[in-house]
Amino acid sequence: MAKLAFDTGGTFTDFALLDDKGDLHLHKVLSTPANPAEAVVRGVSELLGQFGDVVDLDGLQVLGATTVVTNAVLERKGVKTGFISTAGFQDMLRIRNEGRYDLYDLNLKYPDPLVTRANSFGAVERISADGEVITALEEDTVREIAGRLRKEGIRSVAVCLLHAYKYPTHEQRIAALLREENSDIFVSLSSEVCPEVREFDRASTTVVNAYTRPQMSGHVAHLEREFAAKGINRQVLWMTSSGGLVPSSRAAELPVRLIESGPAAGAVAAAEFGRIAGEGSVLSFDMGGTTAKLCLIPNGEPTVGTDLEVAHYHRFRKGSGFPLKIQSIRMIEIGAGGGSIAAKNPLGLLDVGPRSAGAMPGPAAYQRGGTEPTVTDADILLGYMGTESFVGGSFKVSKEAAQTAMTKLAASLDVSVSRCAWGIHDLVNESMSKAAAVHATDLGVDPRSLPMVAFGGAGPVHAYGIARKLGIKRIVCPTGAGVTSAIGLLIAPVAVDLSASLPMQIDNWDFATMDRLLGDLAAQGAEVVRAAGVAPETITNTYTVDMRHVGQGHEITVALPDRRLPPRQFHEELLGNFYKLYRELFGRTVAGSSVEVITWRLRSSGQKDQVTRPHTRHAAEAKKGSRSVYFSERNGFVETPVYDHYKVPVGDEIQGPAIVEQRESTAVVGPSGIAHVDINGNLVINLA
Amino acid sequence: MSVNAADFNDPINLQVMWNRLIFIADQADIVLGRTAFSPIVRENHDYVTVLLDSRGRALAQCTWSIPVFITSLPVAAQKYFLPKFPVETLEEGDVLATNDPEIGTGHLPDVTMITPIFKNGKVVAYAGSIAHLPDIGGAPLHSEASDIFEEGIRFPIVKLHKAGIPNQDVLDVIAASVRLPTEVMGDLESMVAANNVMGRELLKFLDEYDLDGIDGLADAIHTRSEAQTRRAIRQWPNGTYTAEVLLDGYDTDVTLKAAVIVRDDSIHVDYAGTSEQVLHSINCRTNYRYAHSVYALKCLLDPDTPNNEGCITPITDEAPLGSILNPQQWTAGNSRNLIGHVIPSLIFKALEGVVPDKVMGDSGGAPIWAANCVGRRDDGTQYGSVQNFHGGQGARAEFDGLDTLSFPSNCRVTAIEMFEITVPALTECKELIPGSGGAGKSRGGLGQRVVLRNLGRNPMNIYLASERVRHPCFGVVGGKSGSAGKVSRNGEPQFPKGKVVLKTGDRLEVETPGGGGWGRTSERAAASIELDLAEGLITPAAARQIYGYQRSSVAATAAE
């Protein structure tokens, strides 16, 4: 069965087609931000035009990753949205959690809520923490709100009532009433979008869902129409932030879960590249123009967390955006990429970022108006990136322009140009390796034990330096580094993540309640997964729980033991899982304190797929030439051979220092590295 | 492995190494915060991790911290810990700790802990942490007390661990004196673990760079930071700039007076003229006062440089002994933040003529309001939990103040849903108070109205901390005051501090103060007034009367 994946990004929409014979074809077209579906349709038409004879449309499965949701929020281009909460709490979106993300910045701000105060309403009702109806829902107040929504022309509304994560009846009734009054309204209920305790986080998540839903629904409908016209009738499957695929119907209802769609696909791909390179756990490192993403992938599976945040007012300052309580692949985003600007700070020290030259004006070397030196300029001056073969030679860059920009900064710091360029490169590597170390230790893993999978335009350029700092011994640079996320889509399983908060102490356990809750989750999960075409007998259910000591405020996620175990053994195993992880993370355990579950989680999934791309051996000479490249181990520049990644014969050893170029990326092999291309076409660098 | 690693004045080396030291403090921060039981520690981040050099000078501090901790650890180390336990009395595995308010942060629940870090048998640095324990015996937090002995136990600087072995005698005394021994012992262990993480990571760092110690690096960091602070001070004209503020106090008004004396490249703040100490828990000790003096000035002078000893050296302060900002040792001070939190606003006011574009109106979050709810559930079990409420932030030159924001502390509040699981109190509403923000070119942030109702069958004791009920938050640069705070019980006026008893079904109503405005009301842009009207943040009457806004409605504006 053939698969066709598309990944809508900011600049390009990437495609990967796996045809009926198992061959992989890659493609790229310019994105069409005004209507992202246009680029998708064009790319699909082009690919099918070329390879239609090896693709049976009846069996073709289309898969998508998208920035539609993220961009709607970042660019504030969602629809006019309403918000309904329990009367007396309608200001929740402005009140937030009352903390500050920066201690010393008196001019701090948060992004304006996506719903204005004027469009935030209170419904008269109240349910207590243990489910008692303190105030019955006054339906007239809801009908009145519906009238005001209509008058304001609001088509999408988020509803978040107190304790609805556990007692959703009032929310459900409000949805029914709103639909009675306004038949075409989109209603997002917090109890459906994010049934988890803590009202502000849940409201924030529900609002982002409501804000982006009409757009995502339109996008999904548009594509289904276009694909149907081509004879493709299967539902499109979409990548969620947690690395699983869901059918169009769910993607259109819960777009907030697609907010990290592209990066999640990248992480899934990295896991697969690591696996086919024979590695179990890997550190994935994706560095592009403005940001880098680091993701620890233990045992071939990215870990999934629930603390996401978008639309930071202060770029990359945690706490300055909208919190989202959705399952998403745990990764760290670092505000440094090729476009990050280097400058002298008030203390006279060198700073890199957080300002970025972005795509426009871009690095000084691009000669599009950028005059400040960036990381890319440093990488060019150090010889890591060539000027001839930039993006396959289709893009001209100027080393002189980079030199001019760098000279100014070097003079102001009173260091040489090469020292300055190396300083920038090294400082970026330092922040990446620190982020990687904190990310790994957060998950209780020693980063030195892991191989690194490096991709994205700048990933393989910086991987060697970062690996040396972290003590990492092996780097894998996959083929097709430019379309990694699209490849990830081909591999990802159908999967849906569900959760429910219901605090339960070990000392006061209620198996009947637990069974009912898990049964509900499993039924919901099966419904979605089956809708995506997964056979019921192949569904895997994985249960986890968020636990803590009673009295703590931070939960850790552990596996729930097999429900068929006898009660005592079940508890012993559960506590064992908890204490083991607790000790790994925090280096200690706490004696004599009770333990409780706060949130229950289920992942229902189908099977994972595989993609391999055999390396084709070229007759041509792999070495394309040489250039002068800086290595700190050699205290200066050395003449270094340059190879074409795709022409290097499988298994041949390349002793560093060396440069190995792909179309959109360049791998640096330092003096203590030895590289080879493996049977699957990945460049593997072993560090001494 | 690095080039010229020992050259601490190389602008690139220094940045890389400095960042790493902060990262080490942040790693310890994670360990402490995630394992702590004290809700105040984990929800409010009422703790800190600091790396100190071999002389006890602050080198790097965790990124997320609150003002009280800016100066407390280095002062405690240099003035008390090192003199009492000089290096020759220390061995590997020792852990020193005290909760003496005079040494630490001004109240008993905070424990200050210092662990020497050894390399080759020599102390090269100290790992320090301070955390707010969930209980310290004595009267509950925010209840009334007339001296320190009513407020809990006090242990002087002791070796909590001796050569890696816990000092069980001391730990037993602490455990026997507190209401929550498991949690208190757990939090002390968290602190020990956090300090150990700093030690372990620092040694890794020293090995990596092939260094024997960090004092050379410390000198480089301190020198640069101090020079930067002094450079910023020199931008200000020499002079003495004064301000005073009237506070509610516990039951009688308290005056705080500050004279900010700028002389070339240093600043001295003199609090002469400030009211005398009182027989209540609001006395604010020297360490706490100094931390807030430094915090306010750092916000204005150099908000970007990561905090270290060099940033604070050019700043000194003093207050008369026996005043509420330098009380005698026996005085009570559990709720010292009610006074101390106002210091930054006072300093901003004093400097409104010097740096008008940088100062901020007085904030309704100064101080934090807190309701410590204590009682027994219907099944007889004990509960006790603090909920915080903040007023509006003061206005800034460029921006309106944010609504309901913690300042100068930094304290996220507990989600209502979590609070209601813990405590049988129903929050009936938590909403903004339109019109509460002080008017000005920029408007102060809004305060909030919260109503708590006792749902339980047993009475609920609430220990209340509040301020600015009689004296609202002032504006700066010609801005107006915000609205004052308010406390009532079942609709009747209620004394706003100390113990309030709620019988079943009784309600406590609180209204936090609005932030002060910035600049003259006549200069507020019409568009801002219209937006405020559209969003219901000010009333049409206020738009007319305070801002002289003429148009009758937003609809009319939109139609034009």
| Beta-bridge partner residues of A12 | A30
In this complex, do A99 and B189 lie within 8 Å of one another by their Cβ atoms? no
Instruction: With cut-offs at 50, 70 and 90, classify the pLDDT of residue B418.
Output: confident
- B192 touches B99 (CB < 8 A): no
For testing contact with chain A, the best of B301, B386, B389, B417 (most A CBs within 10 A): B417
- B161 touches B93 (CB < 8 A): yes
What is the rounded CA–CA span in Å between residue B355 and residue A116? 34
Around A415, how many Cα atoms within 13 Å sit in the side-chain half-sphere?
Answer: 21
- B445 touches B431 (CB < 8 A): no
Find the CB nearest A434 among B23, B415, B430. Answer: B23
Please give the average per-residue pLDDT across A213-218, as a whole number.
96
Question: Looking at beta carbons, which residues of chain A come within 8 Å of B30?
Answer: 438, 442
Instruction: With cut-offs at 50, 70 and 90, classify the pLDDT of residue A360.
Output: low
Query: Which of A526, A522, A488, A525 is CA-nearest to residue A608?
Result: A488
pLDDT given at position A391: 55
In this complex, do A347 and B33 lie within 8 Å of one another by their Cβ atoms? no
In this complex, do B417 and A162 lie within 8 Å of one another by their Cβ atoms? yes
Percent of chain B with pLDDT over 70: 97
Q: Environment class of residue A341 by beta-carbon count within 10 Å: exposed (0-12), middle (13-18) or buried (19+)?
A: buried
Which chain A residue is nearest to residue B8, measuring alpha carbons? A349
pLDDT given at position A555: 81
Question: Looking at beta carbons, which residues of chain B come within 8 Å of A108?
Answer: 402
Question: Looking at beta carbons, which residues of chain A come within 8 Å of B430?
Answer: 88-89, 91-92, 95
In this complex, do B428 and A129 lie within 8 Å of one another by their Cβ atoms? no
Question: Looking at beta carbons, which residues of chain A come within 8 Å of B33?
Answer: 554
Query: Which of A207, A437, A467 is CA-nearest to residue A334?
Result: A437
pLDDT in tens, B209-220: 889 999 999 999
Which chain A residue is nearest to residue B28, measuring alpha carbons? A586
Question: Looking at beta carbons, which residues of chain B come within 8 Å of A105?
Answer: 299, 303
Query: Which of A145, A205, A219 is CA-nearest to residue A179?
Result: A145
Which chain A residue is nearest to residue B1, measuring alpha carbons? A633
In this complex, do B1 and A468 lie within 8 Å of one another by their Cβ atoms? yes
Q: Please determine, for residue A687, whether its predicted confidence score (pLDDT) is greater than 70.
A: yes
Q: Please determine, for residue B323, whether its predicted confidence score (pLDDT) is greater than 50.
A: yes
Place of tokens 């871009």: A362
Instruction: With cut-offs at 50, 70 and 90, classify the pLDDT of residue B560.
Output: very low
Question: Looking at beta carbons, which residues of chain A come within 8 Å of B416?
Answer: 89, 162, 199
Which chain B residue is nearest to residue A165, measuring alpha carbons? B417
Question: Looking at beta carbons, which residues of chain A come within 8 Å of B23?
Answer: 434, 437-438
What is the rounded CA–CA span in Å between residue B295 and residue B287? 12
Among A206-215, A589-598, B300-309, which is the least confidently predicted range?
A589-598
Phi-psi region of B219 (alpha: psi -120 to 50; beta: other; left: phi over 0): alpha
Q: Helices B11-35 and B181-209, interaxial angle, to 10°?
A: 160
What is the rounded CA–CA span in Å between residue B153 and residue A104? 34
In this complex, do B417 and A198 lie within 8 Å of one another by their Cβ atoms? yes
Find the CB nearest B19 among A100, A413, A434. Answer: A434
Please give the average per-residue pLDDT across A88-117, as a whole number.
95
Please give the average per-residue pLDDT across B261-278, as a whole number.
98
Is-cis flag, bond preceding B140, omega within 30? no
- The residue ranking higher by pLDDT, B553 or A226, is A226
What string of DSSP letters covers A599-614?
EEEEEEE--------P
Q: Please determine, for residue B512, whether its predicted confidence score (pLDDT) is greater than 80.
A: yes
What is the rounded CA–CA span in Å between residue A348 and residue A446? 35
Question: Looking at beta carbons, which residues of chain A come within 8 Å of B134?
Answer: 551
In this complex, do A88 and B66 lie within 8 Å of one another by their Cβ atoms? no
pLDDT given at position B536: 97
What is the rounded CA–CA span in Å between residue A430 and residue A445? 19
Q: Identify the helix (H) or strand (E) that includes residue A165.
A: none
Find the CB nearest B37 among A100, A102, A549. Answer: A549
Percent of chain B with pLDDT over 90: 80
Q: DSSP 3-state assignment of A211? A: helix
Among A134-143, A385-394, A622-631, B168-177, which is the least confidently predicted range?
A385-394
| Phi, then psi, of B276 in degrees rounded to 5 | -75, 165
Q: Environment class of residue B358 by beta-carbon count within 10 Å: exposed (0-12), middle (13-18) or buried (19+)?
A: middle
**How does DSSP classify residue A583?**
H
Q: Please determine, for residue A562, whether its predicted confidence score (pLDDT) is greater than 50.
A: yes
Which chain B residue is nearest to residue A119, measuring alpha carbons? B535
Q: Helices B215-234 and B11-35, interaxial angle, to 10°?
A: 100
What is the rounded CA–CA span in Å between residue A61 and residue B250? 71
Question: Looking at beta carbons, which residues of chain B come within 8 Å of A323?
Answer: none
Percent of chain A with pLDDT over 70: 94
Which chain A residue is nearest to residue B302, measuring alpha carbons? A104
Residue A570 token pair: 């079940």
In sequence order, which residues have a C-beta less than 8 Å from that of residue B203 and are 6 or more positions away? B117, B119
What is the rounded CA–CA span in Å between residue B399 and residue A405? 35
pLDDT in tens, A498-508: 888 888 999 88
For testing contact with chain A, the best of B14, B31, B35 (most A CBs within 10 A): B35
Q: Indicate the pTM of the whole model.
A: 0.89
Question: Looking at beta carbons, which residues of chain B come within 8 Å of A126?
Answer: 426, 428
Please give the average per-residue pLDDT across B527-544, as a whole number.
95
Query: Which of B108, B111, B103, B56 is CA-nearest to residue B80?
Result: B103
In this complex, do A98 and B431 lie within 8 Å of one another by their Cβ atoms? no
pLDDT given at position A358: 67
pLDDT in tens, A587-630: 667 767 789 998 999 989 888 777 665 555 555 688 889 999 99
In this complex, do A128 and B426 lie within 8 Å of one another by their Cβ atoms? yes
What is the rounded CA–CA span in Å between residue A468 and residue A450? 12
User: Do the strands A237-239 and A61-65 form a parallel or antiparallel pair, or are they unpaired?
Assistant: parallel
Min Cα–Cα distance to chain B from A433, Å: 11
Min Cα–Cα distance to chain A from B276, Å: 30
**How does DSSP classify residue A255?**
G
Instruction: With cut-offs at 50, 70 and 90, classify the pLDDT of residue B1.
Output: very low
Which chain A residue is nearest to residue B306, measuring alpha carbons? A104
**How does DSSP classify residue B65?**
-
In this complex, do A350 and B536 lie within 8 Å of one another by their Cβ atoms? no
Cα A15 to chain centroid distance, Å, stands at 18
- B436 touches B514 (CB < 8 A): yes
pLDDT in tens, A50-85: 998 989 988 899 999 998 898 889 888 899 999 999
pLDDT in tens, A509-518: 999 999 999 9
Question: Looking at beta carbons, which residues of chain B come within 8 Å of A109?
Answer: 399, 402
In this complex, do B12 and A349 lie within 8 Å of one another by their Cβ atoms? yes
Find the CB nearest B19 among A197, A348, A430. Answer: A430
Q: Please determine, for residue A482, whether its predicted confidence score (pLDDT) is greater than 90.
A: no
Torsion of CA A296, A297, A301, A302, to 10 degrees: 20
For testing contact with chain B, the best of A80, A83, A95 (most B CBs within 10 A): A95
What is the rounded CA–CA span in Å between residue B403 and residue A95? 6
What is the rounded CA–CA span in Å between residue B352 and residue B341? 18
Which chain A residue is nearest to residue B365, measuring alpha carbons? A98
Please give the average per-residue pLDDT across A119-130, as a whole number.
97
What is the rounded CA–CA span in Å between residue A613 and residue A610? 10
In this complex, do A118 and B228 lie within 8 Å of one another by their Cβ atoms? no
Please give the average per-residue pLDDT across A24-47, as a whole number.
88
Instruction: With cut-offs at 50, 70 and 90, classify the pLDDT of residue B3.
Output: very low
Please give the average per-residue pLDDT across B410-414, as a whole number.
87
Distance in Å from the first CA to the final CA of chain B: 69
- B446 touches B434 (CB < 8 A): yes
In sequence order, which residues have a C-beta less than 8 Å from that of residue A543 and are 6 or more positions away? A518, A559, A560, A600, A601, A602
User: Do the strands A474-477 and A683-687 form a parallel or antiparallel pair, or are they unpaired?
Assistant: antiparallel
pLDDT given at position B555: 45
Question: Looking at beta carbons, which residues of chain A come within 8 Å of B535?
Answer: 116-118
| Cα distances (angstroms) measured from residue A561 to each of A250, A543, A575 | 29, 8, 10
Query: Which of B144, B147, B209 is CA-nearest to residue B2?
Result: B209
In this complex, do A553 and B39 lie within 8 Å of one another by their Cβ atoms? yes
pLDDT given at position A442: 63
Place of tokens 């004696």: A591
| Beta-bridge partner residues of A267 | none
What is the rounded CA–CA span in Å between residue A271 and residue A329? 12
**How does DSSP classify residue B307?**
P
Q: Please determine, for residue B383, whether its predicted confidence score (pLDDT) is greater than 60.
A: yes
Min Cα–Cα distance to chain A from B37, Å: 5
Which chain A residue is nearest to residue B537, measuring alpha carbons? A117
Please give the radius of gyration of chain A, using alpha carbons only, rounded to the nearest integer.
Answer: 26
In this complex, do A118 and B534 lie within 8 Å of one another by their Cβ atoms? yes
What is the rounded CA–CA span in Å between residue B294 and residue B309? 11
For testing contact with chain A, the best of B196, B207, B224, B430 (most A CBs within 10 A): B430
- B164 touches B118 (CB < 8 A): no
Find the CB nearest A104 among B303, B412, B420. Answer: B303
Three-state SS for B95-124 is: EEEECCCCCCCCCCCEEEEEEEEEECCEEE
Share the mean pLDDT of chain A.
Answer: 89
Q: Please determine, for residue A26, whether its predicted confidence score (pLDDT) is greater than 90.
A: no
Q: DSSP 3-state assignment of B382? A: strand
In this complex, do A89 and B426 lie within 8 Å of one another by their Cβ atoms? no
Question: Looking at beta carbons, which residues of chain A come within 8 Å of B404?
Answer: 94-96, 98
Question: How many residues are listed for chain A in this entry?
Answer: 688
| Cα distances (angstroms) measured from residue B484 to each of B380, B433, B437, B511 | 38, 11, 10, 8
pLDDT in tens, B85-125: 999 999 999 999 999 999 999 999 999 999 999 999 999 99
User: Within 10 A of A403 (CB to CB), how many other CB atoms are there?
Assistant: 18
Which chain A residue is nearest to residue B32, measuring alpha carbons? A586
Q: DSSP 3-state assignment of A420? A: helix
Phi-psi region of A456 (alpha: psi -120 to 50; beta: other; left: phi over 0): left
What is the rounded CA–CA span in Å between residue B223 and residue B215? 12
Residue type, B466: S
Q: Please determine, for residue A390, whether its predicted confidence score (pLDDT) is greater than 80.
A: no
What string of DSSP letters covers B245-274?
EEE--SSS-EEEEEEEEEETTEEEEE-TTP
Min Cα–Cα distance to chain B from A660, Å: 25
| Beta-bridge partner residues of B504 | none
Share the mean pLDDT of chain B.
Answer: 92
Please give the average per-residue pLDDT across B518-527, as a whole number.
96
Question: Looking at beta carbons, which residues of chain B come within 8 Å of A594?
Answer: none
Which chain B residue is nearest to residue A91, measuring alpha carbons? B431
Please give the average per-residue pLDDT across B41-55, as a whole number.
86
Which chain A residue is nearest to residue B413, measuring alpha carbons? A97
Instruction: With cut-offs at 50, 70 and 90, classify the pLDDT of residue B33.
Output: confident
In sequence order, which residues have a C-beta less than 8 Å from that of residue A204 and are 6 or more positions away? A93, A322, A323, A324, A325
